[in-house]
Amino acid sequence: MSENNNSKMCCGHKPRLVLPIIGLVLLTGIIVISIVRDRIVSQQFRQVTINGQGRVSYTPDLAMLNLGVQIDKVAKPEEALNQLNSKVEGIVKALGAAGIADENIQTQNYSLYPQYDYKDNVSTVSGYNANEQLVIKIVDYDQNPEKLSQVIAASSKAGINQVNGLWFEASDINDLKQEARIKAIEDARSKSQVLAETAGVRLKKVVGWWENFIQPSPYYSYDGKGGASGANPQLPAGDREVIVELGVTYNIK
């Protein structure tokens, strides 16, 4: 009888010992998970971004013209389009005679829309307007800059009554950008070494960067209706610069 009682007492003590042990294990697990999560999620990286700039000068070898023909207040829409098409056909021929190849003439806009007159708060269609814009590429501009003014004069005589824009480009602009980008990286690297030594820190690996491409480009416009038709304007392109701003981000130690 005594053995049975002892056995029951022994067995009765086991749950009282096991439960605290299980609770302790669970609590330890929760604490470990919290510490690991905090290190993974809340870890603070010490970083610094150094800015650099690269500049590359160049002389444009392409000139781009946006020329337009405007037909105003024609009685019928088909007549407006017929007048527009006839003028543009003559202009394309004149451009060809001035040395512009067909592949360097591109239509950018072609439109037809009514013209309204307002009287006593009532609008009525008084005619139709038509417009077409051409983008002209003049290659080897750096070798023959006078060709630009010749093209404007020839197209004006042929019927162009709008010069909506003029800009200059480089045929190897992507190579120039890459050269400026490399210079910007070198500039940032040079600055980073000096700044790190001054601040008393060590730079670790690069963790990111950004870049911004800047290409200042003067924009010229002229309306042929102003009486300059047939004139030879002087439009020097001058030297240009490709500018790349670049920021390199380092981890610091």
- List pLDDT tens digits, range 144-182: 989 999 999 999 999 999 999 999 999 999 999 999 999
> What is the helix (H) or strand (E) element at residue 112, kind and residue range?
strand 105-119
- Tokens standing for 158? 């042929």
- Is residue 38 predicted with pLDDT exceeding 50? no
Beta bridge partners of 167: 64
* Confidence at residue 46, expressed as pLDDT on a 0 to 100 scale: 80
* Confidence at residue 233, expressed as pLDDT on a 0 to 100 scale: 62
- Is residue 10 predicted with pLDDT exceeding 90? no
Asked which of 168-172, 200-204, 221-225, 249-253 is least confident by mean pLDDT, the reply is 221-225
- Is residue 7 predicted with pLDDT exceeding 70? no
* Confidence at residue 41, expressed as pLDDT on a 0 to 100 scale: 41
* Confidence at residue 223, expressed as pLDDT on a 0 to 100 scale: 46
Sign of the dihedral defined by the CA atoms of residues 183, 185, 190, 194, in that order: positive
Helix residue ranges per DSSP H, 64-172? 77-97, 146-158
Mean pLDDT of the region 30-59: 69
- Could you give phi then psi for residue 122, rounded to 5 degrees? -120, 130
Between CA 235 and CA 148 the distance in angstroms is: 8
Between CA 158 and CA 104 the distance in angstroms is: 18
* Confidence at residue 176, expressed as pLDDT on a 0 to 100 scale: 94
Long-range contacts of 85-93 (CB under 8 A, 24+ apart): 87/158, 87/159, 88/132, 88/134, 88/159, 90/158, 90/159, 91/67, 91/134, 91/155, 91/158, 91/159, 91/160, 92/134, 93/158
> What is the helix (H) or strand (E) element at residue 67, kind and residue range?
strand 62-74
Mean pLDDT of the region 67-72: 96
Domain ranges of the chain: 1-43, 60-171
Between CA 140 and CA 171 the distance in angstroms is: 9
Architecture of domain 60-171: 2-Layer Sandwich (3.30)
Give the burial string for 168-188 (b: 16+ CB within 10 Å, else e): bbbeebeebbebbbebbbebb
Mean pLDDT of the region 211-230: 55
Whole-prediction pTM value?
Answer: 0.65
